[in-house]
Chains A and B, each alone.
Chain A
């Protein structure tokens, strides 16, 4: 009888342990899926921003030097995105270091060319330019939001994966450990 009770106890403990491990693995799986989604979203928002910048550069209202600088920076960003697509780097590793440098450069070009005086001038233009500025503002904001949400998802994955039971039992399998994405995404003042 005592043996039976002990066996039942051990089985119950093992079952509970198994349930907990599979629960944690499923939770990790969900978090990894969320990171994949958030990085895809960040990629999409970066492309959208670069496209709006390219359109602004081609609108023919900025001085040629500013337009050229903007078109160049936007082109670099779109190229980086295309290259990432080819390597499927986006889903696997997130946004790489080279790409974050490109995006910071685009942000800095925007801040250098769209000074508050220029923005005020553009707002007075016709032919849909104020709308284009609104699009730029929204695109820039979405980049900011997407990067925040992505880093939040990354932080949550890393927090769970730092737990001893997850580390020692290898519950995360061979999934790449995601890293936060850092780059300059402040909008120009006044946009």
Chain B
């Protein structure tokens, strides 16, 4: 099958959508499909050979932070040419709500177009104002995928009644399950280790909640080590903590994919203290794949990933005392940890790429059956078609 995938965000900035697009494309290529990915990137950037650069992304303030997006008439024309050149059987646009190449591709394309909605953190008011203008274009999507029930909720908040097929984000489970254990991160009875992964300065990742819980944890287990991986300034994060807590924290900075897997393979528990804004929680799946017992805040998306309970333990979101009690109950019970690890490994298989990519392919095939002709643009007689509402 000839598959075109459009990714709205700059590829050189790490992010959930970018990783998802990369893994999905590589999985389909491995199966023998023809895949092209369109993404914002410099012409001379070093890219995987299946990526077509759409031009340099521009940093613009959007949705409460600075996003690197790509738009404008030149880009729109380029996107249109890419679609026509590609002769795709299916066009798959990611985050069609974000004002970047995905939205432009959705507007230009006709035929079997699939949209995947990732986010649950959209600032609704701006978008709601624009919905009447976007609506005719969203109607062109022949199939929609939401990565979680939270993401489906985002669609419904903007469009009212709407439906989508839920296909979760994928993980290469074996890459985590087979990573070598790292002795320096392994815990023992005296000095157990717990891990946190995420941007230090992003409040919704919840590092502050975990640090608030640290004095209680250290009172019960003085040898506890907290391993923190992720970009950010440790001094800033530790500003209001005691010397005792500072001594128990080890900052690893940004880690490679391999080190991330080794870290998760080695620790006694993985803690996800996020306080909101997560539509999926891929990191929980990665931790489960590596066999790390997962202790997470009880956000709806996290509870869904943990299969409603058995595959991990949850505590009240934002509650440091509950977090501390929960972590201690897991660290004190060897058998419980082994159980959690085993159940987590089984649950993680539901998110393995082999399964997820097959589900996405089912969506493609369904949409192709509805539109047997390849994707094309309405660029011929463009002005006349615009006038008639087919722009």
Bind each other = yes
Residues on A facing B (Cβ under 8 Å) = 19, 22-27, 30-31, 34, 37-38, 40-41, 44-45, 138, 141-142, 144-146, 148-149, 151-153, 155-156
Q: List 26 A-B contacts (CB under 8 A).
A: A22-B387, A22-B388, A22-B389, A23-B388, A25-B389, A26-B390, A27-B139, A27-B389, A30-B390, A34-B139, A34-B142, A37-B371, A41-B367, A138-B358, A142-B366, A145-B143, A145-B362, A145-B363, A146-B370, A149-B144, A149-B367, A151-B163, A152-B162, A153-B142, A155-B161, A155-B163
Bound complex: CA of A34 vs CA of B366, how far in Å? Answer: 13
Sample of 6 more A-B contacts, CB < 8 Å, known A34-B140, A40-B369, A146-B369: A27-B389, A41-B366, A142-B362, A149-B366, A149-B367, A151-B163
Bound complex: CA of A38 vs CA of B371, how far in Å? Answer: 8
Closest to A39 in B: B370
Residues of B within 8 A of A22 (CB): 387-389
For B144, give its contact among A31, A144, A152 (CB under 8 Å): A152
If over half of A's interface residues share one DSSP class (helix, strand or loop), that class is named, otherwise mixed; here it is helix
Bound complex: CA of A111 vs CA of B143, how far in Å? Answer: 27
For chain B, the bracket of interface size reads: 20 to 34
Given A23-B388, A23-B389, A27-B136, A41 and B362 contact (CB-CB distance below 8 Å): no
For A26, give its contact among B144, B366, B369, B388 (CB under 8 Å): B388
Given A38-B142, A151-B163, A152-B144, A146 and B389 contact (CB-CB distance below 8 Å): no
Residues of A within 8 A of B163 (CB): 148, 151-152, 155
**Nearest 9 A/B pairs, CB to CB:** A37-B370, A26-B389, A41-B369, A23-B389, A41-B370, A26-B388, A44-B369, A145-B366, A146-B366
Closest to A22 in B: B388
Residues of A within 8 A of B389 (CB): 22-27, 30
Interface positions, chain B 165-218, Cβ under 8 Å from A, are: 165
Q: Is B322 an interface residue (CB 8 A)?
A: no
Q: Is B365 an interface residue (CB 8 A)?
A: yes
Residues of A within 8 A of B162 (CB): 152, 155
Bound complex: CA of A156 vs CA of B165, how far in Å? Answer: 16
Bitwise, B26-45 to A at CB < 8 A (1) or not (0) is 00000000000000000000
Q: Is B350 an interface residue (CB 8 A)?
A: no
Residues of B within 8 A of A34 (CB): 139-140, 142, 370
Residues of B within 8 A of A45 (CB): 366, 369
For B139, give its contact among A31, A38, A41, A146 (CB under 8 Å): A31
Contact A149 B143 (CB under 8 A): yes
Bound complex: CA of A30 vs CA of B113, how far in Å? Answer: 14
Residues of A within 8 A of B319 (CB): none
Measured between C-beta atoms, what is the minimum distance from B231 to chain A in Å?
38
Measured between C-beta atoms, what is the minimum distance from B186 to chain A in Å?
37
Residues on B facing A (Cβ under 8 Å) = 136, 139-140, 142-144, 161-165, 358-359, 362-363, 365-367, 369-371, 387-390
Measured between C-beta atoms, what is the minimum distance from A28 to chain B in Å?
9
If over half of B's interface residues share one DSSP class (helix, strand or loop), that class is named, otherwise mixed; here it is mixed
Residues of A within 8 A of B140 (CB): 30, 34
For B165, give its contact among A24, A27, A148, A153 (CB under 8 Å): A148
Residues of A within 8 A of B359 (CB): 141
For B370, give its contact among A25, A38, A144 (CB under 8 Å): A38
Residues of B within 8 A of A40 (CB): 369-370
Q: Name, among B359, B363, B369, the residue most crowded by chain A CB atoms within 10 Å (CB to CB).
A: B369
Measured between C-beta atoms, what is the minimum distance from B314 to chain A in Å?
25
Bound complex: CA of A146 vs CA of B164, how far in Å? Answer: 11
Bound complex: CA of A30 vs CA of B363, how far in Å? Answer: 21
Bound complex: CA of A41 vs CA of B389, how far in Å? Answer: 25
Residues of B within 8 A of A37 (CB): 142, 370-371
Bound complex: CA of A25 vs CA of B359, how far in Å? Answer: 35
Closest to A138 in B: B362
Closest to A149 in B: B143
Measured between C-beta atoms, what is the minimum distance from B55 to chain A in Å?
29
Measured between C-beta atoms, what is the minimum distance from A161 to chain B in Å?
13
Measured between C-beta atoms, what is the minimum distance from B362 to chain A in Å?
5
Residues of B within 8 A of A26 (CB): 388-390
Bound complex: CA of A103 vs CA of B143, how far in Å? Answer: 22
Closest to A152 in B: B163
Bound complex: CA of A158 vs CA of B165, how far in Å? Answer: 20
Closest to A155 in B: B161
Residues of A within 8 A of B390 (CB): 26, 30
Residues of B within 8 A of A152 (CB): 144, 162-164
Bound complex: CA of A141 vs CA of B140, how far in Å? Answer: 22
Residues of A within 8 A of B367 (CB): 41, 149
Contact A149 B136 (CB under 8 A): no
Q: Name, among A38, A138, A149, the residue most crowded by chain B CB atoms within 10 Å (CB to CB).
A: A149
Bound complex: CA of A145 vs CA of B358, how far in Å? Answer: 13
Bound complex: CA of A110 vs CA of B365, how far in Å? Answer: 23
Measured between C-beta atoms, what is the minimum distance from B165 to chain A in Å?
5
Bound complex: CA of A142 vs CA of B163, how far in Å? Answer: 15
Q: Name, among B164, B365, B390, the residue most crowded by chain A CB atoms within 10 Å (CB to CB).
A: B365
